[in-house]
Structure 1
């Protein structure tokens, strides 16, 4: 009883200091992490590989073969925090497979942080593209000032090794590059992420190292948005200005910062279906995958709903790909490790209703 009174008194004191919310977030994360390591779940899909930990799978078909460009999770011994310092990846291994359900090959190191001249630490979620006989690997990494930028590396082989350009892409910032080539041959990069992705620390083209650790902190204003830029012909730079990816509700109003169940957090992806552009993304701290539909690559996009419920583990990140007249979603969870920073990639079929809306996916079956 005495312990309970002391606990209540401490909590009341914390409330008066205005920090109860952050404590609750920390408690939620601790509970989730504990659940990860103890819960015996039944899963919709099995990990594609188990010899290394992989996450953030960006999938493409090149030359009639499926290639997956994931992060490579490692146990770095870094304490977990909201900046994501415990996600301390050092290199990339590309995966390939001839068909869904077929043998998965893990290839040798495609690119290492030590081979990127301007890099400091943390190679996060990559993506790839192909044009004019060259494969392009796009990657976010913190520079030597600890600011996330996006770089590009090239190879004549889809699995590398890749050679990084000497500088990051001019004007690039934040994380999670996702490459989309439209039917007219134009290629676009979608990118950005709040919290550890640092998007909230950029204003008027300048980075504020002392800026917010979470989002804009303006609860009743439009939420921070992902970014989109058209790529130049050589695929090494942006062709024109970086634009905001605007997500609107069905009344035409922007989603607000406080709308954590719907607003953009990170992990953008773009695909096209029946002439419409599907912008899909993670809601982050609420752990959903959501989607919005537009009429062109720049949007605006009208929010439609969520299409994947939370996976095991804190993060959720995906890609969507059409293969032989079926659609598939590549994603990750923590089935193998039970630890939020040691993940494994998976794939399952993505199904739609007759009107083009995406059916809900339940990654955990019990």
Structure 2
């Protein structure tokens, strides 16, 4: 039960944010319990480095800013890495790995990050608003990179964002041939809709969700150079096709891309996974190339408690695992807690849909 879980955490000397309730407000039971309760965490990017599991989440912080479609209530300003020896083992919360004040080009809102490793160096990829101002008085979201010799940090940021990358939600996938790819993008607060022509329009629309009969905006993908700090090419559209082989339309909110790209490979197939945003599904589409196109296959997870759904998927210990977040501890959309659950596949490679809240 949730109360016993938190009691065990407290017995280990970790302060708890709140007692986790067994059931959601609608009476359903939470499938999983928070990994940590000493801080609020979300958007977990999990990796196995040197046989250990490291999770790179955003670090939610309290704010009096009301919820809005631009995401101003998500006021995160630093990163802290979570570590565990294996699934089910105690979780260590690391010290501050990178703060926005240590990033020369950034002004605020360090949202969902990711990480990668190559040749003795760990790379932290992160979005943040730069120091320009748009019609709302906000900077544009760019993607930066920082490096460390330790997976827990501290990380040192490059002086400028990655040229050619933009918006938010960076995710790095390294293929079996050693080539690495950067996926990124998110609409509404992530501003992807303002980059339609390859350059930022500060006066552009704050949403494209009115383009119901046109192909939906897509996430972006570009191969990284060997230095892991720069793009080797102009970004491509990560196109998602429907069952008829046509691009998913903007009006298909249950299928379309919104944010939170994550790529993994299984059985020779590339699984492009993402969030639908306003309909709160985690989806997946498959293809034969890391560039796509990807054919929509279904839902990975039904809606969690809370507005945003951002995830990662790894294989470890002979099983596949989904990392996600909800608002069990706080009941507030901007104060979330990271969780995990096992991911299972059918014989044909399709994924069994997970219900984060069960009767």
Residue number among 291, 307, 310 corresponding to 1:298 in the alignment: 291
Tell me, in whole angstroms, the C-alpha distance in 1 between the residues paired with 2:270 and 2:230: 23
C-alpha separation in 2, matches of 1:41 and 1:85: 30
Structure whose alpha-carbon radius of gyration is higher: 1
Number of the residue aligned with 1:187 = 180
How far, CA to CA, are the matches of 2:126 and 2:101 in structure 1?
Answer: 14
CA distance in 1, matches of 2:206, 2:192: 10
Aligned to 2:69: 82
Query: What pairs up with 1:166-177 in 2 under 5 angstroms?
Result: 166-177=159-170
TM-score when scaled to structure 2?
Answer: 0.91
**Residues 360/37 of structure 1: CA separation in 2 closer, same or farther (3 Å cut):** closer
Q: Pick one of 219, 222, 240 that aligns with 1:229.
A: 222
Residue 188 of structure 2 contacts residue 206 of structure 2 at CA under 8 Å; is this kept in 1?
Answer: yes
Offset of 1:241 from its aligned partner? 1.4
The answer as to whether partners of 1:216 and 1:224 remain within 8 angstroms in 2 is no
Q: Does 1:163 align with 2:160?
A: no
Q: Does 1:105 align with 2:120?
A: no
Q: Does 1:332 align with 2:338?
A: no
In 1, the alpha carbon distance for the partners of 2:85 and 2:241 equals 39
CA-CA distance at 1:307 after TM superposition: 1.8
In the alignment, the residues of structure 2 paired with residue 98 and residue 39 of structure 1 have an alpha-carbon distance, to the nearest angstrom, of 35
Q: Secondary structure at the match of 2:189?
A: helix
Alignment partner, residue 114 of structure 1: 101
SS for the counterpart of 1:61 is: strand
Q: Which has the higher helix share?
A: 1
Give the whole-Å Cα distance in 1 for the aligned partners of 2:165 and 2:46: 22
Deviation at 1:324, TM superposition (A): 1.8
Match of 1:277 in 2: 270
Is the CA contact (8 Å cut-off) linking 2:328 and 2:336 kept in structure 1? yes
Q: CA deviation at 1:48?
A: 0.1
Structure 1 segments, 4+ long, off by >2 Å, are: 36-41
Structure 1 counterpart of 2:258: 265
- Out of 45, 51, 58, the residue aligned to residue 45 of structure 2 is 58
> In structure 2, how many angstroms separate the alpha carbons of the residues matched to 1:79 and 1:88?
11
Contact 1:70–1:92 (Cα < 8 Å) also in 2: yes
RMSD: 1.1
Structure 2 counterpart SS, 1:109: strand
Please list the CA deviations of residues 155-175 of structure 1 after superposition, one character each: whole Å capped at 9, or x if unmatched. 000000000000000011100
Structure 1 CA distance for aligned equivalents of residues 209 and 202 of structure 2? 14
Counterparts of 1:1-366 in structure 2 under 5 Å? 38-145=25-132, 146-215=139-208, 217-366=210-359
Runs (5+) with no aligned partner, structure 1: 1-35
Number of corresponding residues: 331
